[in-house]
Structure 1
């Protein structure tokens, strides 16, 4: 699984953030190593035009093998809260998406072994 971290100018300690994010993501998504090929993280500071407490935003996109990518976004007052919120959402989204895909594979087709007798 490849991890790519992109940070805007409002984000401090980009190198430390990249190392920390890599370990956190690989730890949380470890059981999906075969299904998730890449995770892109986009951290940005101060969301313009937004009222409320969220002045950091984290968006994560997981690329799934042979499937469409999924993405999650979370706003928070700190980088840590925005990152952890987005990672928790992404984990649930990956779990749900892969469970839904597996559920489709496990079902039998209604068209299977259908014998239609001519009248």
Structure 2
């Protein structure tokens, strides 16, 4: 699975952040990562550095092999909370989608 991290200019997206983000997403998605060709994580500071509750938005896009991409969003108080929340939502979403596919077969 390929992993790509994108950030706005208010959030520094260095190699260390990319490694931590990939680890969080991979651990949260668990065995589902084997069915994905790529994941993209987008981080944005919605208040442009002014602070405030849940001002970090994480958009996570997962591309299952042979299927259309799936996207979820989560707003968190900090980068880690936003990533974890989005990864949990994606896990739930993909479990549901793959479950529907299995039911059809």
TM-score (ref. length: structure 2): 0.87
Aligned to 2:30: 30
Q: RMSD of the TM alignment (CA)?
A: 1.6
**Equivalent residue number for residue 87 of structure 1:** 87
- Give structure 2 stretches of 5+ with no counterpart: none
TM-score in terms of structure 1 length: 0.78
The match for 1:9 is 9
1:102 is the counterpart of 2:102: yes
Q: Is the alpha carbon distance of 1:55 and 1:33 closer, same or farther for their aligned partners in structure 2, counting shifts above 3 Å?
A: closer
How far apart, in 1, do the equivalents of 2:77 and 2:53 lie? 6
- CA-to-aligned-CA distance 1:55-90 (integer Å, 9 cap, x gap): 110000000111111111001111111111111101
Give 1 or 2: higher helix fraction: 2
Structure 1 residue runs without a partner (length 5+): 106-119
Aligned to 1:108: none
Provide the aligned length of Structure 1 versus Structure 2. 102
Larger Rg: 1
Asked which structure has the greater RCO (Cα within 8 Å, sep 6+), the reply is: 2
Aligned to 1:46: 46
Does the 8 Å CA contact 1:56/1:79 hold for their aligned counterparts?
A: yes
